[in-house]
Amino acid sequence: MRPSSLQWAPNGLTVCSKCDKYLIMPRNESAPITDLLRRTIAASGVPLLVIQRETGVQRASIMRFLRGEQSLRLDVADKLAAYFGMELVRQKGHRSR
């Protein structure tokens, strides 16, 4: 079972439709991608064993990431972000360099 995409709520917060919880990051504030991924995983309530089975990412790696003890390789973060329906979107008005 794959979670659907995160949605912006009218109040500017992100809602995780998998867990029906609001994430803490307001839309107009920036946060490192890792913080958003960490919050999404924690708020989802999906057991880490299920995430491991569905993504191939080891539960121990996810646990260390959630505790802030270890970062994730980009390919691993990609797998988790895809599982939770997350994507990067360029904000209007920002130019690429």
| 50-83 tens-digit pLDDT | 999 999 999 999 999 999 999 999 999 999 999 9
H or E element that contains 16: strand 14-16
pLDDT band at 87 (very low <50, low <70, confident <90, very high): confident
pTM for the whole structure: 0.67
Are 3 and 21 in contact by the 8 Å Cβ rule? The answer is no
Alpha-carbon distance 69 to 63, whole Å? 9
- Count CB atoms within 10 A of the CB of residue 67: 9
In this structure, which CATH number among 1.10.260, 2.60.40, 3.30.750, 3.40.50 belongs to the domain 6-83? 1.10.260
pLDDT for 24 beyond 50: no
pLDDT band at 94 (very low <50, low <70, confident <90, very high): low
For the chain, give every domain's residue range. 6-83
